[in-house]
């Protein structure tokens, strides 16, 4: 039982990390591509990514229960 819980936690962490990378990579690529993007614009895009990540985290936790 405990090992099953450990495995599911590792799978959940792996999923969250891959989702985070999938969300962050386009932001950084677009930031590099559009160097005219201001620092505040970059910060707001990072914040939007984290809010999307938070929403996906909630969905992931609900679906795992």
Query: 7-64 pLDDT, tens per residue?
Result: 787 888 888 878 888 888 877 777 666 655 566 676 777 777 778 777 776 766 666 6
Tokens of 46: 């990072």
Q: What is the pLDDT of residue 35?
A: 56
Distance CA 30, CA 50 (A): 16
Q: What is the pLDDT of residue 29?
A: 73
Distance CA 12, CA 27 (A): 23
Q: What is the pLDDT of residue 37?
A: 56
Instruction: Answer whether 57's CB lies under 8 Å from 16's CB.
Output: yes
């Amino acid at each position: 039982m405990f090992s099953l819980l450990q495995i599911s936690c590792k799978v959940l962490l792996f999923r969250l990390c891959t989702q985070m990378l999938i969300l962050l990579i386009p932001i950084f690529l677009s930031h590099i591509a559009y160097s005219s993007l201001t620092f505040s614009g970059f910060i707001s895009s990072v914040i939007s990514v984290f809010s999307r990540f938070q929403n996906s985290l909630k969905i992931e936790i609900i679906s795992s229960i």
